[in-house]
Structure 1
Amino acid sequence: MKKVAVILSGSGVFDGSELYETVISLLAIRRAGAHYECFAPDKDQLHVVNHLSGEVAEGEKRNVLVESARLARGEIKPVTECDPEAFDALIIPGGFGAAKNLCTFAVDGAESQPDEDVLNVCKAFAQSGKPAGYACIAPALAASVYGNKVKLTIGNDESTAQGLEELGAQHVECAVDEIVVDSDRKLVTTPAYMLAEDILEAEAGLNKMVETVLSMQ
């Protein structure tokens, strides 16, 4: 049975992992007969967003690992405990936490800096030739991990795509229910909720992403 490491970035689309993307990805992994284990950085979130009003909750602090545990039903470890040698593949769902807590793309754009612990794990997967899937805005992190004109997508948002290209990636426009594959790097990306207006639209691309990642040798 293949084992997949899943890195989360909190709980909630505006300041953490996108819930639907995460659940769909985990379900797709299990439906494919693979096993997953969840990880997250043990640090404070960039900020906390009130998901009812959409406004930043001033003065409130939450921990990325603790919040991610909500999605993982408590079965989660610090990303520093992720040993890439113990896994066959890596999946990173989107949600703005991927661009706020796993890297600084949401704030710094083309000057984005990845979280050091997350970068170490992601680079270890990349350097060992193990396949990975990054969804939604998570390719902002992938651009820093792979660089060197790696092919990836966030859909078709021009300003975001430009920022990724300035980080060294090659952006490819992609429909919501499709994927972009960089076969040389074994990287699979899909727009998910960068474009999706419905959970079914997001599901189609996410399922293809997970299935493609798991089919890679």
Structure 2
Amino acid sequence: MSKVAVILAGCGVYDGAEINEAVLSLLCLEQQGASYQCFAPDREQMHVINHLSGEPAEGESRNVLVEAARIARGNIKPLAEARVEDFDALLVPGGFGAAKNLCDFAVAGENMTVQEDFLQLARGFHRAGKPIGLICIAPVMAAAICGEGTRCTVGNDPDVAAAINAMGGQHLECPVTEARVDAEKKMVTTPAYMLAGSVAEAYAGIGDCVKEVLALA
């Protein structure tokens, strides 16, 4: 049985992990016979968004780990405790938290930097030859993790694709129900809610992503 480290970036599409993507990722792992442990950075998130209005919540702050614990039903550990040797693969659901709390792509675009603890862990998986799955907007970090020429997808968003290419990646177009595999780099990506118009569409693509990650493990 493969064991997968799942990295959550908070709770909620606009400032944390996309909840549907996170839950579907865990469901697909279980359905395909894998076990998992959730982790999240123990740090303040970039900002807090009111998910009803879509506007920033002025004067409010939240912790990424504490918020992510809502999705994981409390069964979550600080990112700093994750060890490459304990797992067979790494999986990162999307949501703006991936672009705000794991890196700063949401504000810096192609000049982004990746949060150091996450970058060290992800690069550790890559160096160990263990597969990595990135979902939704998280593939913007693919080249930073696996190096120049890493092939990945966010679907067909031209601006994000251009940024991925500018950062050294190679963007591949992909329908929502599929994933794209860079077998050499052991990188698997899927668009999910970069394209999905329904939970079912996101589920199909995430299921394909998880299947391909486990096949490489």
Identify the TM-score tier after normalising by the shorter chain.
over 0.9
Does the Cα contact within 8 Å between 1:12 and 1:18 map onto a contact in 2? yes
State how far apart, in whole Å, the 1-side matches of 2:142 and 2:41 are. 16
Question: Does the residue aligned with 2:133 lie in a helix, a strand or coil?
Answer: strand
Aligned to 2:144: 144
Pairwise CA RMSD of aligned residues? 0.7
- Can you list the C-alpha shifts for 1:119-161, whole angstroms capped at 9, x where unaligned? 0100000111101110000101223112311000001111111
For normalisation by structure 1, the TM-score amounts to: 0.98
* Displaced runs of 4 or more, over 3 A: none
| Residue 30 of structure 1 pairs with residue 30 of structure 2 | yes
Aligned residues: 217
Shift of 1:174: 0.7
Question: Does the residue aligned with 1:193 lie in a helix, a strand or coil?
Answer: helix
State how far apart, in whole Å, the 1-side matches of 2:196 and 2:154 are. 11
Shift of 1:59: 1.2
Counterpart of 2:81, as a letter, is: E
Shift of 1:78: 0.8
Aligned to 1:115: 115
State how far apart, in whole Å, the 1-side matches of 2:157 and 2:212 are. 24
Counterpart of 2:167, as a letter, is: L
**Correspondence 1:59-74 to 2 at 5 A:** 59-74=59-74
Aligned to 2:193: 193
Counterpart of 2:19, as a letter, is: L
Shift of 1:14: 0.4
Shift of 1:101: 0.2
Shift of 1:35: 0.6
Counterpart of 2:13, as a letter, is: V
Shift of 1:191: 0.2
**Correspondence 1:69-80 to 2 at 5 A:** 69-80=69-80
Structure 1, unaligned runs of 5 or more: none
Structure 2, unaligned runs of 5 or more: none
Aligned to 1:167: 167
